[in-house]
Amino acid sequence: MQKLRRILVAIKDVDARSFPAVRKAAQLARAEGATLELFHAIADTVLVEALEARRISLKDYETERLRKVLKRLQAIAKTLRKHDIEVGCSAEWDYPPAEAVIRRALRMQADLIVAERHAGRHRAGWMLAYTDWEMLRQAPCPVLLVKLAKPYHRPLVMTALDPFHEHAKPARLDTALLQASGKITTSLKGKLRIVHCLAPTTLVTASWTATPVIVDTARTEALLRRARKALAVEVARQPLPSHQLAVVEGSARDAIPQSAKQAKASIVVMGALSRSGFKRLLIGNTAEAVLDALECDVLVVKPGGFRTKVPRRPRGAQLMALPSAMTG
């Protein structure tokens, strides 16, 4: 992750009582000397009949709503400016929200997007275009997804690597993960923990055997030693702040959230690959399960050279007319 110069904060609800994402983005901005931009996508559906009832044109309605949103954003920015942070505000009629945020990030050449996690767990996330998951998949820069309201105070940053580069995951993604982990750890004066999840060496099911299962402990230890060595070699390639290394047994789906909880991590750094078709379904399904299970903030990065496919032209307001009533 390159030096943070411009941070885009995606504000979901301008009338919320608190803004954890704004507060944490401000912490990063102060540490890095970066500028902030508070952005809200006005993605509401506008009913033609409602405009007619108010006797107001679409253009006037858009202007009126935009003015109210910007006024609220400026009130939030005013508080931040008291702490010597350079803050700008922007809002735009555009949809869907994830694409709107990405379009704004492209225009301002953002180095980081900070957004609050949508409430609730996903269900069948690979079938539905949830705002937060689409943002993570298509954003051109790293995304910090805020799940905890508590501000950072020397946070523990945890990242999971795959030094063997299995499942077609490119080595350059691990490089991006290490660089991002080191950057955010240094910026927030935190601690860094790097883990590798080693698949369990023994699968026991009571349905096919009633006899004791003998575990090959020598083989397990050999695998653990090999994994520790590979992890150390991978990490040594990057200049990093002081850190701890750990190899944990278990699938990434279970081991990453468990490790983060046990270590009391404040931020978990994850990698994301944008795939299409069936491969995208599998990778996305696992990543979403980890994302949902994590109880802390998540920083999602992509390998260098990633190019988003989100169209750059805003869609404007989303209009809808109710069906005309049938007359007898």
Q: Which domains does the chain have, with CATH numbers?
A: 6-301 (3.40.50.12370)
State the first-to-last Cα distance of the chain, in angstroms, to the nearest integer.
65
Compute the distance between CA of residue 220 and CA of residue 226 in angstroms, rounded to an integer: 10
pLDDT in tens, the chain (328 residues): 778 999 999 999 999 999 999 999 999 999 999 999 999 999 988 888 888 888 999 999 999 999 999 999 999 999 999 999 999 999 999 999 999 999 999 999 999 999 988 655 444 443 334 688 888 888 999 999 999 999 999 999 999 888 876 654 566 888 899 999 999 999 999 999 999 988 776 554 445 555 555 555 666 788 888 989 999 998 998 999 999 999 998 888 899 999 999 999 999 999 876 554 434 433 455 677 788 889 999 999 987 778 888 999 999 888 888 776 444 4
The reported pTM is 0.86
Record the tokens describing residue 258, joined without a space: 């468990």
Compute the distance between CA of residue 259 and CA of residue 198 in angstroms, rounded to an integer: 13
- 198-to-72, 121, 166 alpha-carbon distances in Å: 48, 26, 11
